[in-house]
Amino acid sequence: MPKLRPWQWVAFVVFLAFYGFAVFALTRDYYLRHPAPASAEQFPPGTSTWLQQQMRGPRLDADAARSETDPIRLGQLADHLFTQGRYAETVPIYRRLLELTPEDVEVYNDLGLALHYSGKTGPAVEVLRRGIDQDPQHQRIWLSLGFVLAVLGDNPGAREALERARSLGAETPIGEEAARILGKLDAD
């Protein structure tokens, strides 16, 4: 067996450290880009097989969503897709939810935001205003309307909606967010 000199040992140790780091970095990158599929244990108890498949899969089965009659299941699916940024896919689900629960202001709010983030800001404003007609005391929908109007450039309308949201509870997180956006409008 050959005898190694000290500089060769140092070079060998540096190579091993670099090799180990490279394997770690490549493995980490792979798993960040290709996460493991969701398993059944990650879903709340009582989640239907259909809903689990929808949450897992890349494509939405719109026909099955249209025929679904359980608002809780539809809400879970819509919320899951919304948090993934799949806004256009949530729109028909939120519309179905409105058919099932036409008095639920949160669904109007979520549908309005999904429409806005899908690039359909005009219909989003209409939906948010219909939700306000359902319950003018609902703070979150006023915040959403103010946000969407601010993005549209309708500063007077945005200011009115945001002031209403703030007046419904300035000390709440929603009221604080309304005040923050109002501050940005005032700075412009």
φ/ψ of 83, rounded to 5, equals -70, -20
Is it the case that residue 179 has pLDDT exceeding 60?
A: yes
The pair of three-digit structure tokens given for residue 178, joined into one six-digit string = 């309304």
- Average pLDDT along the chain: 84
For residue 174, tell me if it sits in a domain. yes
pLDDT tens track for 12-27: 889 888 888 888 888 8
pLDDT at position 43 over 60: no
Q: What angle do CA 87, 96, 50 make, to 5 degrees?
A: 80
- Residue 179 in any domain: the answer is yes
pLDDT of residue 125: 95
Q: Which residue has the higher pLDDT, 175 or 49?
A: 175
Return the ∠ at Cα 173 (arms to 169 and 174), rounded to 5°: 65
- Kindly indicate the confidence band of residue 41, based on its pLDDT and cuts at 50, 70 and 90: very low
Q: Is residue 180 situated within a structural domain? A: yes
Residue 40 reports pLDDT greater than 50:
no
Q: What is the pLDDT of residue 91?
A: 92
Domain count along the chain: 1
Q: Return the higher-pLDDT residue of 159 and 186.
A: 159
Of the ranges 64-68, 81-85, 139-143, which is most confident? Answer: 139-143
111 with 91: CB under 8 angstroms? yes
Residue 47 falls inside a structural domain? no
Q: Is residue 168 part of a domain?
A: yes
Condensed to tens digits (0 to 9), the pLDDT of residues 83-123 reads 889 899 899 999 999 999 999 999 999 999 999 999 999 99
Does residue 34 lie within any of the structural domains?
A: no
* Three-state secondary-structure class, residue 152: helix
Nearest-angstrom CA–CA distance, 145 and 162: 8
- Domain containing 182 — which CATH number? 1.25.40.10
The predicted pLDDT at position 46 comes to 60
CA 101, CA 150: separation in Å to the nearest integer? 29
Classify residue 7: in a domain, yes or no. no
Q: Print the domain residue range for 151.
A: 53-187
- Residue 21 falls within a domain, yes or no? no
